[in-house]
Amino acid sequence: MRAPASASMRGGAWWRLCGCWAGGGGGGGVGDEKREGTESAPTSWNLFIELGTLEVATDNFSDANLLGRGGFGPVYKGVLENGEAIAVKKLSLESRQGVKEFINEVRLLLKIQHRNLVSLLGCCASSGQKMLVYPYFPNRSLDHFLFDKKKSVLLDWSKRFEIIVGVAKGLLYLHEESPVKIIHRDIKASNILLDDQLNPKISDFGMARLFLEDDTHVNTFRISGTYGYMAPEYAMNGYLSAKTDVFSFGMLVLEIVSGRKNIDRHLDEEKIDLLNYTWKLSEEGRASEIMDPTLSECDADEVLLCIQIGLLCCQAIVSDRPDMNSVHLMLCSGSFTLPKPGRPAIHGRVGRWSTTSSTAMSSNTNNTNSTFGTTDTTKASNLFSVAEEYSRNSISVSFTSEGR
């Protein structure tokens, strides 16, 4: 598999095998593949970058280069010797993810290449630290524009519609077109990076779940996602499917149209939950009222189309939600007739369970925040000891047979 690095990167002397691998540790055949179309192609071991190179690039990971912190650890801006800017994600030192699992994650990230997904440039596993290297995006993420009244004016309607379509294409690729079926599990505005042309790139695959070819869903003990974007059936019962991402996408669409967060407790009570409020207005024939007031010019039909798609994606009945292929057709086909959205999944979406990741055992009947469905518990516990006990930094593999 070709490393998605620039020509300057591939040719630079800095792009070398990490010292911790020089002695042959952490093997497993990752570096046996050659680049297509070249006679003396470097192996994929070239994806590993020396720790010293990243320390120099980030000024020893100084606070001045800190871009932000997340549940997986800090992200730093770096500049290579050739002047190319990068973003370095340092995975948490508390991670239980081993070197083998880390390499598997890197290999998976290399397999998924799409214009609307952030490309992996390289990685480092040295001195007990594991890092992922990505391109640096000066515009950062969608939320920095969308929820900032000064910057939001840069997102006119045509650009917002392009972003919606781009994210839909990226998710369609992950669900149906990539070499492996992947559920992202954390689609939200802050995980949509914007390039210099404000084109969207889905990022942060730390919570992503790999599905076997015939899997339609799994029941999981580890709930990973973000408050307000998680589908209730997943947040409350651990029921994970592609429709989990569809729900999150629907919430993101409504945020892009309205220019506000999906939960805003500074607003009047009926407006706090964007999904509930949009549904209410839609039932009254006033759906267009959620549109961002800063949008001076827009295509009214496209706005209503996106609102309707957002509501369809957030329906309470999971099977009624469209898949991403249908969503893409709705967005790109002017002759596509949309069904009327059913009642949205409100119950359990706004509750006391909260952000990023939580782990609970199904036997804990006193848990007042989340409840988890159980099917074939003995088998699940054995299988999840392999897949689910990895750190949340890893990309989990679905070994269960539920949902086939």
Task: From the candidates 186, 215, 245, 273, give the one annotated as an active-site residue.
Answer: 186
Judge whether 301 counts as a catalytic residue: no
Distance separating alpha carbons of residues 354 and 298, to the nearest angstrom: 35
Q: Name 124's Cβ contacts closer than 8 Å, sequence gap at least 6.
A: 18, 48, 49, 50, 51, 54, 130, 131, 133
240: region left, alpha or beta (phi > 0 left; psi from -120 to 50 alpha): beta
β-strand partners of 209: 183, 396
Q: What is the DSSP letter of 44?
A: G
Q: Name 307's Cβ contacts closer than 8 Å, sequence gap at least 6.
A: 253, 254, 257, 278, 282, 287, 288, 290
DSSP for 269-305, please give it: GGGSBHHHHHHHHHHTT-GGGGS-TT--S--HHHHHH
Q: Cα dihedral sign for 92, 98, 99, 102?
A: negative
C-alpha angle with apex 30: 26 to 32, nearest 5 degrees? Answer: 125
User: Do 222 and 392 touch, CB atoms closer than 8 A?
Assistant: yes
C-alpha angle with apex 310: 275 to 267, nearest 5 degrees? Answer: 25
Q: What is the DSSP letter of 72?
A: T
Instruction: Residue 114: name the closest of 8, 6, 202 by CA.
Output: 202
Residues with active-site annotation:
186
